[in-house]
C-alpha cells in the first residue's frame, strides 16, 4: 500500500462517501457539512462524491459523483451462498432451481444429489455477480488513484443488523481496502457503529476501522461497539457533525406563561413492515395510537400541531396514518398542519416557527436543538439517549418501546414550564458541540498537511 504525500501548496482531491440520495435529511446534512469543512480548510481542493444515487448528489452539490455500489438496479436480494437472503441495493433475486417437475423429482430421488445440485446452481449464479463486482472494484480503484483522502461522512455505516454483513459492513470494508491500495488516506468521521450481530459483519468492520487513518464516533454507544471489537478508541465521542451548522443569534426568550404553542411532531415508521428490521404490525399500531392520543391531548390544550418529516419518503406515511386517525372534531386548518419539506433549508424555516418539538428521529432532535428548540425525545436507539444526555436534556427522553401517554404528557408539561432554562442550556451545549466538531475536522484535514486558516 503506497501513500501519497502533498505539500501545502499542491492541490488535493477528497472523496466524500455517504449513503445519500435516499431522501434522508440527516445523512444529506452530514454529507454537506463534510464538503463545506473540506473547502474551508483547503484552498486548492477537488471534491468527488461517492453516493447511492450519483445523479442526485451531482445535482445537489455540484460535484462529480461515483456510485457507492455496482450498478445492478434490477437485483433485489443477496444470494444464500454469500450472505443469506437480505434486501439490498446491490443483491441478487431468488430464482427457482428448475420449474420442470420431472427433473425435480429425479433429483430428489437420489440421496445427496439435491444438495449438490443447489450448491452448483448457486456457484454458477455467482460467476456473473463476481465478474461485475470485480469490474466495479477495478473502476473504483482507478478513481481512487486520483484521491488523497476518502472521507466517510457520519451516519450509521458500521452495522449489520439492517440487511446483514454484505451491505454496510462489506461496503465500507471494500472501499477502505481499495482506497489504501490506491494510496489514499481514509477517515471515518463522526460515524455511528452497531449493532453488529454477525461474525462476518464484525470482521468486515474491524478490518475497515483498523486500516483507516482517522476515526471518530458520534455517541458513546458507538465507541463501546468498536471497543468490543478489540480496537482501541483513545478519545471520547464527538457530537454529531451536523452541530457545526449552529449559528448563534439573538432570539427572544420563550414565554412559559403563554398557553398556546406551536408543537412540532417528527414521527418515525417504528416497526413498519416496509422499513423496520423485525417489523411488528401490532407495535407499529401501538405507536400510532399513542401518538394520536398525545396529539389530541395537545389540541385539547389549545396548542397547534405541525407534523414534519426528516426522512422524506418514509415519514410522510406515518404522518398520514396519525392524521387520518385524529378526531375530526379537533382538527381544522388552524390547529393541525403538515410541513412541506424538500430540503434542509425548508426544515430549518419550518422549525424556526415552532416552540417545542416531539422528535422520534435522531436528526429530528438535532435539527430542532440547533435552533434552540426544547425537545421531547422518543428514543428508538441508544444514540438518541446519548444525544439528549450530552445536550443536558437526559430527563426529557423516552424509550419508544415503552411509550406511555401519561408519561409523555407529564414530560411535556415539565418542558413547557422550563423553556427558558432549557434554551439557555442548549445554547451553551451547542457552542461546545460546534467547537468539538470543528476541532475534529481540523484533525481530519491535517492528514493532508497544513490546513487553510478559517
368 touches 354 (CB < 8 A): yes
pLDDT at residue 310 above 80?
A: yes
Q: What is the pLDDT of residues 84-101, one digit of tens each?
A: 323 333 332 223 333 445
pLDDT of residue 411 exceeding 60: yes
Task: Work out the average pLDDT over 273-284.
Answer: 90
Domains and CATH numbers, the chain: 12-73+134-244+435-448 (3.40.50.2000), 257-417 (3.40.50.2000)
**What distance in Å separates the CA atoms of residue 262 and residue 134, rounded to the nearest whole number?**
54
CA distance 197 to 63: 36
Lowest mean pLDDT among 25-29, 90-94, 154-158, 295-299: 90-94
Sheet order of strands, 397-399 included: 336-338, 304-307, 262-266, 356-359, 375-379, 397-399
Q: Nearest Cα to 245, choosing from 371, 340, 359, 151?
A: 371
pLDDT digits (tens, 9 = 90+) for 219-251: 999 999 999 999 999 888 999 999 999 987 655
Q: Region 415-427: what's the mean pLDDT?
A: 96
pTM: 0.84
Q: Helices 419-445 and 25-41: crossing angle, nearest 10°?
A: 50
For 69-83, write each residue's pLDDT tens digit: 986 332 222 222 222
pLDDT grade for 255, boundaries at 50, 70 and 90: low
- pLDDT digits 0-9 by tens, 316-374: 999 999 999 999 999 998 999 999 999 999 999 999 999 999 999 999 999 999 999 99
For residue 242, which of 93, 436, 375, 426 has the smallest C-alpha distance? 436
Is residue 195 classed as helix, strand or coil in its secondary structure?
A: coil
CA 351 to chain CA mean position, Å: 20
Amino acid at each position: 500500500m503506497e501513500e501519497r504525500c502533498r505539500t501545502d501548496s499542491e492541490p488535493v482531491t477528497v472523496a466524500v462517501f455517504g449513503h445519500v440520495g435516499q431522501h434522508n435529511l440527516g445523512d444529506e446534512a452530514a454529507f454537506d457539512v463534510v464538503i463545506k469543512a473540506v473547502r474551508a480548510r483547503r484552498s486548492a481542493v477537488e471534491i468527488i462524491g461517492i453516493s447511492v444515487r450519483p445523479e442526485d448528489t451531482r445535482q445537489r452539490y455540484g460535484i462529480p459523483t461515483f456510485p457507492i455500489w455496482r450498478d445492478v438496479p434490477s437485483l433485489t436480494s443477496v444470494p444464500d451462498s454469500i450472505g443469506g437472503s437480505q434486501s439490498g441495493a446491490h443483491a441478487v433475486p431468488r430464482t427457482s432451481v428448475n420449474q420442470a417437475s420431472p427433473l425435480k423429482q429425479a433429483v430428489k430421488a437420489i440421496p445427496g444429489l439435491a444438495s449438490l445440485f443447489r450448491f452448483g446452481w448457486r456457484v454458477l449464479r455467482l460467476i456473473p455477480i463476481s465478474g461485475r463486482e470485480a469490474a466495479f472494484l477495478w473502476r473504483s480503484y482507478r478513481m481512487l488513484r486520483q484521491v488523497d483522502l476518502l472521507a466517510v461522512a457520519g451516519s450509521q455505516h458500521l452495522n449489520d443488523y439492517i440487511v446483514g454483513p454484505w451491505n454496510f459492513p462489506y461496503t465500507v470494508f471494500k472501499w477502505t481496502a481499495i482506497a489504501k491500495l490506491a494510496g489514499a488516506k481514509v477517515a471515518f468521521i463522526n460515524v455511528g457503529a452497531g449493532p453488529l450481530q454477525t461474525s462476518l459483519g464484525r470482521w468486515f468492520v474491524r478490518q475497515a476501522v483498523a486500516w483507516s487513518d482517522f476515526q471518530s464516533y458520534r455517541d458513546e454507544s458507538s465507541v463501546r461497539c468498536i471497543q468490543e471489537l478489540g480496537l482501541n478508541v483513545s478519545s471520547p465521542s464527538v457530537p454529531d457533525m451536523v452541530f457545526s451548522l449552529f449559528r448563534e443569534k439573538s432570539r427572544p426568550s420563550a414565554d412559559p406563561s403563554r398557553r398556546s404553542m406551536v408543537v412540532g411532531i417528527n414521527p418515525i415508521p417504528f416497526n413498519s413492515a416496509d422499513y423496520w428490521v423485525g417489523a411488528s404490525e401490532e407495535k407499529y399500531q401501538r405507536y400510532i395510537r399513542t401518538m394520536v392520543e398525545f396529539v389530541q391531548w395537545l389540541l385539547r390544550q389549545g396548542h397547534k400541531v405541525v407534523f414534519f418529516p426528516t426522512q422524506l419518503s418514509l415519514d410522510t406515511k406515518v404522518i398520514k396514518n396519525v392524521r387520518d386517525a385524529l378526531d375530526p372534531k379537533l382538527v381544522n386548518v388552524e390547529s393541525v398542519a403538515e410541513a412541506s419539506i424538500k430540503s434542509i433549508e425548508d426544515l430549518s424555516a419550518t422549525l424556526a416557527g415552532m416552540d417545542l418539538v416531539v422528535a422520534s428521529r435522531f436528526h429530528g432532535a438535532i435539527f430542532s436543538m440547533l435552533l434552540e428548540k426544547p425537545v421531547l425525545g422518543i428514543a428508538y436507539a441508544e444514540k438518541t439517549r446519548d444525544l439528549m444526555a450530552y445536550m443536558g436534556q437526559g430527563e426529557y427522553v423516552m424509550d419508544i418501546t415503552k411509550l406511555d401517554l401519561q408519561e409523555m404528557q407529564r414530560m411535556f408539561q415539565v418542558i413547557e414550564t422550563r423553556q427558558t432554562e432549557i434554551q439557555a442550556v442548549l445554547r451553551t451545549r451547542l457552542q461546545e458541540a460546534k467547537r468539538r466538531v470543528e476541532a475534529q475536522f481540523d484533525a481530519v484535514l491535517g492528514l493532508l498537511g497544513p490546513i487553510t486558516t478559517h
